[in-house]
Chains A and B, each alone.
Chain A
Amino acid sequence: MSYTPVQLLENWILRQASDAGQAWLGSQREAVTTGDLKSLYMAFGFAPRKIGKADLELTERDLGDAAEARPGWMPHSWTIDQAARVLLLISLPSEDDAAFQASLEKLFQTAEIREQVCLYQALQLLPHQELFDDRLSEGIRTNIKSIFESIAHDNPLPMELMSEHAWNQMILKALFIGVALDPIEGLDRRVNPELARMLIDFAHERRAAKRPIPVELWRVAAPFADEIALEDMKALYASGELLEKSAIALALVATASDEADVILKTNPDIAKRAESGELTWREIAQQAY
């Protein structure tokens, strides 16, 4: 049987929270349901004190239920206060979309770091998500990594809502500030020629500065690799570190072009490992960061 996100969050909190914490959350949700903004704002702030900050203890089955309830929802790193805060937000009346958006914007504008992380992850479960695409673009301008990751990682909204320009900026900035690409939902689906061009330019900048090129870059640049990019990949495939060679091989295998095959043949051992599925982007990302 399938559940709604609200039912899942309630169940998970029920399993872990104290009786006092649950009673507190129940009464706060009731107040918020009436549209009482002061209660929402105070309860949103006090949630960790009242209900704790423990990690949600989720099983594989819970994660499966989550993905069924809301495709793309991956709450494996959520905490109990985060779950409580999201339930409070879902309780807010939302018939008037402009008022709903304004109330939430007030929270965004005054949120501290952990609250921002929670809000950006919460949006995927809230009504009127389409009103928050500018908010997502604003969020990725942050210089705080954990906030950036709350938007970029394990979050279906960028893939669903962001314009191509904002999406491309997010991918480039992730590489720029050392945030992994692999946990970005829809990464391979939203590749585009403009992004590939930006990434190749970035790779050249890094090379000129004698700095390493992030290995995940090739995953996104390869599908639209022009001659210059292929030359870059060929050179790195011959002289790079093992992790770079592995990334190039995976990227080239995915493009399935004649030029790619020619390059792959220059190091058949690694090519074979890439083709067989022995190498994965997940492992490469884990080793890279």
Chain B
Amino acid sequence: MKFIDPHIHVTSRTTDDYEAMAKAGVAAIIEPAFWLGQPRTHVGSFQDYFSSLVGFEKFRAAQFGIRHYCTIGLNSKEANNEALAEEVMEIMPLFLAKENVVAVGEIGFDDMTALEEKYLRIQLEMAKEVDLPVLIHTPHRNKKQGTYRSMDIIEEHEIPPHLVVIDHNNEETCEEVLRRGYWAAFTIYPKTKMGNERMVEVVKKYGPERIIVDSSADWGVSDPLAVPKTGNLMLERGVPEEHVELTCYKNALAAYGQSGQFEESDWLTPEPIDQRTLFEGNSVLRGGQDPRVDKPEDDRIIQ
């Protein structure tokens, strides 16, 4: 079975992770722009980070047979540095039109401050201007209020719910998110957001419509195989295969496909080798995935 992980921060993962993800059936991933654990102090740090999301990381993922997409946005924590946030707003037009950008995100609330709300609203307007879906990050603390408030604001800006993914849901928030017509994403992240046994129960209870499973794996203790592991656990526990396909693949495709930049044919029928474009090198390295080709007879030897 093929999987999409529509929320993973691979910038902080290793090539071993990529190899394991490809082996587990992950065909495409989306990397939302987020914070790096410590706050950035200069706009240049954002610029280089965004550049790596639209350029090098896409290239690196392709070398392991994984199609990489991203979302671009100013995250909620760093929206609280107003001077910096203004500069980030200025460089966002340089990035929103890049070819693998499938949404504005992840944006939303952390502490639910006035500045967080200000930059959420500005970025919602940008999403309208460039006709892209939106990925909403919901806060760890005061989650229910933060989630509902985000949806209220989106509705004030008259963005239709089918263009918005609300992420990091739990049993408490998902009913209202689904009722209002949004895509409801769930992060399978050890110990904090959602475990995959709980996820199985959510899918059994609410069905597969508009529910999306992701890993959010990042620089914290997290699991880049969370989506395939959850999909396989669903199958083991009697969730019908088509429901697994919807929640671990097709719903993400439908939601982010609305950008016009996220199409199944990208990974099912990759472009032919073309020396001008970026996958030329990849076509060589994809051969390297087969351990029978590249693995030395004796793995103590590094050739």
Smallest beta-carbon distance A175→chain B, Å: 16
Q: How far is the CA of A150 from the CA of B278 in the complex (A)?
A: 11
Main secondary structure of the interface of B (DSSP, over half): helix
Q: How far is the CA of A42 from the CA of B132 in the complex (A)?
A: 14
Number of A-B contacts (CB under 8 A): 68
A275 lies within 8 A of chain B by Cβ: no
List residues of chain A with CB within 8 A of the CB of B278.
Answer: 113-114, 117, 144, 146
Is the CB–CB distance between A111 and B97 below 8 Å?
A: no
Is the CB–CB distance between B100 and A146 below 8 Å?
A: no
Is the CB–CB distance between B275 and A48 below 8 Å?
A: no
Interface pick from B20-28, B50-58, B164-172: B50-58
Smallest beta-carbon distance B226→chain A, Å: 27
Is the CB–CB distance between A146 and B260 below 8 Å?
A: no
Question: Closest chain A residue to B277 by CB distance?
Answer: A146
From B96, B130, B260, B277, A117 is in contact (CB under 8 Å) with B277
List residues of chain A with CB within 8 A of the CB of B94.
Answer: 41, 45, 106-107, 110
B36 lies within 8 A of chain A by Cβ: no
Query: Looking at A106, A113, A114, which has the most chain B CB atoms within 10 Å of its CB?
Result: A113
B98 lies within 8 A of chain A by Cβ: yes
B64 lies within 8 A of chain A by Cβ: no
Whether A113 touches B59, Cβ cut-off 8 Å, given contacts A49-B260, A146-B275, A146-B276, is: yes
Q: Mark A174-194, 1 if CB is under 8 A from B, else 0.
A: 000000000000000000000
Is the CB–CB distance between A42 and B97 below 8 Å?
A: yes
List residues of chain A with CB within 8 A of the CB of B47.
Answer: 109-110
A77 lies within 8 A of chain B by Cβ: yes
Whether A110 touches B93, Cβ cut-off 8 Å, given contacts A49-B260, A145-B280, A146-B278, is: no
Is the CB–CB distance between A117 and B55 below 8 Å?
A: no
Q: How far is the CA of A144 from the CA of B51 in the complex (A)?
A: 14
Q: How far is the CA of A114 from the CA of B100 in the complex (A)?
A: 11
Is the CB–CB distance between A110 and B277 below 8 Å?
A: no
List residues of chain B with CB within 8 A of the CB of A149.
Answer: 275-276, 280
Is the CB–CB distance between B275 and A112 below 8 Å?
A: no
Interface size on A, residues (CB 8 A): 26
Smallest beta-carbon distance A143→chain B, Å: 9
From A49, A77, A111, A144, B276 is in contact (CB under 8 Å) with A77
A46 lies within 8 A of chain B by Cβ: yes
List residues of chain B with CB within 8 A of the CB of A113.
Answer: 55, 58-59, 278
Smallest beta-carbon distance A79→chain B, Å: 8
List residues of chain B with CB within 8 A of the CB of A114.
Answer: 99, 277-278
Query: Looking at B51, B56, B98, which has the most chain A CB atoms within 10 Å of its CB?
Result: B98
B35 lies within 8 A of chain A by Cβ: no
From B56, B97, B99, B281, A146 is in contact (CB under 8 Å) with B281
Smallest beta-carbon distance B129→chain A, Å: 9
Q: Mark A67-98, 1 if CB is under 8 A from B, else 0.
A: 00000000001010000000000000000000
List residues of chain B with CB within 8 A of the CB of A110.
Answer: 47, 50-51, 91, 94-95
User: Please, could you name 22 A-B residue pairs with CB atoms under 8 Å apart, sorted by A?
Assistant: A38-B93, A41-B94, A45-B96, A45-B97, A46-B97, A49-B260, A77-B275, A79-B276, A109-B47, A110-B50, A110-B51, A110-B95, A112-B51, A112-B55, A112-B58, A112-B100, A113-B58, A113-B278, A114-B99, A117-B276, A145-B281, A146-B280
